[in-house]
Chain A
Amino acid sequence: MTGTLVNTTVNGDAVQFACPTDESLMDSLRDRVGLTGVKEGCGTGDCGACSITLDGELVCSCLVLGVEANGRNIGTVEGLADGDKLHPLQEQFINHAALQCGICTPGFLVAAKALLDKNKNPTEEEIRYALAGNLCRCTGYDKIVRAVQAASKDLRKKK
C-alpha cells in the first residue's frame, strides 16, 4: 500500500486504508473501501450524491479529504439496512417509486436519515429544505418527499 495510512470506523466497523493526501474521501470510500453506494455526481459539493455522515454530521464526501477520516466515525448508505431488513426510508422509497435511475438515491437516503435523526416529525417544508443539497434529475422530488414523510410516520409508530 502506498500513501498515508488512515484508521477509521465505517458503519460501525474498524477500517484501514492508505490513500494519497489529496484524494477525496468519496474516492477513498469507493475505490479503497469498496463502498460504491457513495456516488459521484459533481465532485464539487453541489449534488449531494456522495452524502455521508462524519461523526454524525451530514457532509459531502467529495469535499472531505480521505486523510481527514483518520479516527473519525463514518456512516454510508450501506449502513442503513439491518442485515436483510431494509430501513423504513429504503422501504418507502421503493413503495413510492421515489427513484428512477437511482444515482441520487443513496445521497437522499443518507440526508433523509440525518434529518429524521434530528427531527422525528418534519414538515414538508422542513423536508424540502433539508434535502435542498441533493439533486435529482429524474423524479421531480415529489415522490421523494412523500417517501420521507411516510418513513417518518413508520419510525414514529415503531417507537
Chain B
Amino acid sequence: MRYEAPTTTQEAANLIAREKGEAFVLAGGTDLLVRMKTGLSDPTLVVDIKHIPAMQDVKTTDSGTKIGAAVSGSRLNANKKLKKAWPGIVEAANLIGSDQIQGRATMVGNLCNASPAADSVPAMIAAGAKAVVVGPKKRRTVPVEKIATGPGKTSLAKGEIVESINLPKRTGKAGDAYLRFIPRTEMDIAVVSAGVNLTLERGLVKTARVCLGAVGPTAVLVQKAAKAIIGSKLDEESLDKMAEACSAACTPISDKRGTVEYRTKVAGVLAKRAAKIAFKRAGGK
C-alpha cells in the first residue's frame, strides 16, 4: 500500500484518478481503518488529506460558512461561532462515537462512507449544505443530498474528492436541531434520526427543511413535512401533519435495533421534537 500526503486538493484528486488499484481518501480514518482491519478493503493507495490547508479550516464569509473536509468533530465542537450559528450541525457531528472518535472523525468522511444512519448527514441536508467536489478535471458544487446514493455508495466519480461543506449564510431568526434515537445514551448507531432547520418571520415559520436518517437507504429530505409547518406557529395541528408526512416518507428495514413499524412511528415523533427545539433556537414562542 502506498501512503501519500499531498498539500493540495488537486494533487490528491490526480493521485486517486491515476491509481489503477483500489484508492481511498483518508480523512479521520474511523471508517476506513476499520474496513482495512476487518478485511472489507485492501487499498493499494491511501491519500491522507489532512495536510491540505484548504481542508483544515472553518471560515465564515459574506456568502456563508465553509467547513474544510478534514476538520474533526472535536474542532467543530471547539468553534463557538459555528456552534452559535448552526447548533444542530455541531450536535449531530458530535454524536459520532466517543471523544476518541471525535478527535479524528470528519463530517465529510461520515457523508462519503454513506451509511444510512450517518449522524451528521440529515443535519447537513436540513441546513441546505452544499459539497464542493474537486475532480482531476473540474470542480463542482452539489447539494449534500446528492452525494450518497445508497448504503456504501456515492455519486462521486473516481478521483473526485469533497473539499469542503458550505453552509448558507445565517440571517434573521433561524435555528436548527438534530435528534437521534438510540437504546443507550452513548456509542450506538441511530435507530431513527431527524434534522430540522427553519427560519421565522413575524413569529411564523417562513422556510423549513426536514430530513430523516436511518429510515431508508439514504437520508431522506421530506418536502411535505416542511410544507406542513411553513406558515404556522408550530401549533400541534401542523406538527401532527409534519409527523404524518415524515412517517409516510419512511422505507426502513427491520433489524435487531428496531422494526419497520417502530422506526416509522418514531421518525415522526423525533421530527416533532427537533422542530420544537429549532423553533425555540430561532427565537419562536
B29, B50, B72, B99: residue with the most chain A Cβ atoms closer than 10 Å: B99
Contact A45 B103 (CB under 8 A): no
In the complex, residue of chain B having the shortest beta-carbon distance to the beta carbon of A59:
B103
Q: How far is the CA of A132 from the CA of B187 in the complex (A)?
A: 7
On whether A65 and B30 interact (CB within 8 A), knowing A60-B101, A111-B99, the answer reads no
For chain B residues 23-60, which have a beta carbon within 8 Å of chain A?
26, 28-30, 33-34, 36-38, 46, 48, 50
Contact B3 A21 (CB under 8 A): yes
In the complex, residue of chain B having the shortest beta-carbon distance to the beta carbon of A48:
B100
Contact B46 A133 (CB under 8 A): no
B196 to chain A, nearest CB (A): 24
CB contacts (< 8 Å) of A59 on chain B: these are 100, 103-104
For chain A residues 95-131, which have a beta carbon within 8 Å of chain B?
111, 114-115, 129-130
CB contacts (< 8 Å) of A130 on chain B: these are 99
Q: CB-defined interface of B72-112 with A at 8 Å, one 1/0 digit per residue? A: 10100000000000000000000001111101100000000
Contact B38 A133 (CB under 8 A): no
Contact A67 B3 (CB under 8 A): yes
Cβ-defined partner of B3 (8 Å) among A64, A65, A111: A65
On whether A58 and B97 interact (CB within 8 A), knowing A45-B34, A63-B33, the answer reads no
For chain B residues 142-201, which have a beta carbon within 8 Å of chain A?
185-187
Contact B99 A24 (CB under 8 A): no
CB contacts (< 8 Å) of A154 on chain B: these are none
Q: How far is the CA of A21 from the CA of B104 in the complex (A)?
A: 19
Q: How far is the CA of A21 from the CA of B153 in the complex (A)?
A: 26
Cβ-defined partner of B100 (8 Å) among A21, A22, A24, A45: A45
Interface residue range, chain A: 20 to 34
Contact B100 A51 (CB under 8 A): yes
Number of residue pairs spanning A and B whose beta carbons lie under 8 angstroms apart: 79
The verdict on A44 contacting chain B, using a C-beta distance below 8 Å, is: yes
CB contacts (< 8 Å) of A144 on chain B: these are none
On whether A21 and B2 interact (CB within 8 A), knowing A62-B37, A133-B101, the answer reads yes
CB contacts (< 8 Å) of B48 on chain A: these are 68
A96 to chain B, nearest CB (A): 22
In the complex, residue of chain A having the shortest beta-carbon distance to the beta carbon of B30:
A63
A132 to chain B, nearest CB (A): 4
CB contacts (< 8 Å) of B34 on chain A: these are 44-45, 63
For chain A residues 34-58, which have a beta carbon within 8 Å of chain B?
43-46, 48, 51, 54, 57-58
Contact A57 B72 (CB under 8 A): yes
CB contacts (< 8 Å) of B99 on chain A: these are 58, 111, 114-115, 130, 132-133
The verdict on A4 contacting chain B, using a C-beta distance below 8 Å, is: yes
CB contacts (< 8 Å) of A44 on chain B: these are 34, 37-38
B103 to chain A, nearest CB (A): 4
Contact A133 B97 (CB under 8 A): yes
B108 to chain A, nearest CB (A): 17
Q: CB-defined interface of A1-36 with B at 8 Å, one 1/0 digit per residue? A: 000100000000000000011101000000000000
Cβ-defined partner of A133 (8 Å) among B2, B36, B100: B100
List A residues at the B interface (Cβ < 8 Å): 4, 20-22, 24, 43-46, 48, 51, 54, 57-60, 62-65, 67-68, 111, 114-115, 129-130, 132-134
17 A-B pairs in the complex with CB atoms less than 8 angstroms apart: A21-B46, A22-B36, A24-B33, A43-B37, A48-B100, A57-B103, A57-B104, A58-B100, A58-B103, A62-B33, A62-B37, A63-B33, A63-B101, A65-B3, A65-B33, A114-B99, A133-B98
The 10 closest A-B pairs by CB, nearest first: A133-B98, A132-B186, A21-B3, A57-B103, A59-B103, A133-B100, A22-B1, A60-B100, A63-B33, A44-B34
